Structure 1
Amino acid sequence: MSGTLTMRVGGKGRVVLPSELRARQGWIEGTTLTAVEQDDGSVLLLTREQLLARVRSSLVGKDAVSELMAERRAAAQREDEGRA
């Protein structure tokens, strides 16, 4: 179930998360949350597990090693052309 809940930033920048939200999310005392600011200015609150899942899904189909090698080869090619 999703919903819209209102919170206020209090003294020292503290925000109290409504108990209803904490209960739905299973966030107990001591749960560590990460705030992720999006390009559009919105902010996501994610647990460590949610953050890891998000990062993993963004990397699906990516071949970081091949991309890095291609970048290095292109840089080396530009260097070689600059020396000639």
Structure 2
Amino acid sequence: MSEGGRIVIPSEYRKQLELEVGDEVMIGLMNGEVRICTLKQAIKRAQEIVRRYVPEGRSLSDELITERRQESLRE
């Protein structure tokens, strides 16, 4: 670790993560470990979690739009 807390990610790790200069990453502390993932990986993980609770073919965004339209008609 260098001054300022900077850490270099080895090139072989960057290649496996498909990281390029300027890419944004997510950094988290879990169980005393620092974990780094790409935004793409974080989005994929979030989608997998949502899929456990939302049946295939159901569109939460369509439901929200319908709900909002119904609310605006009541106003």
Matched residues, number: 55
The alpha-carbon deviation at position 56 of structure 1 amounts to 1.4
Structure 1 vs Structure 2 CA RMSD = 1.9
SS at match of 1:61: helix
* Percent of matched pairs sharing the same residue: 24
Deviates further, 49-58 or 19-28: 19-28
Q: Runs of 5+ in structure 1 lacking a partner?
A: 1-8, 64-84
Separation in structure 2 between the aligned mates of residue 43 and residue 62 of structure 1, nearest angstrom: 28
Structure with greater strand percent:
2
TM-score norm. by structure 1 comes to: 0.55
Q: Over alpha carbons, which structure has the higher Rg?
A: 1
Q: Select 2:21's aligned residue among 13, 21, 29.
A: 29
TM-score norm. by structure 2 comes to: 0.60
Q: 1:66 matched to which residue of 2?
A: none
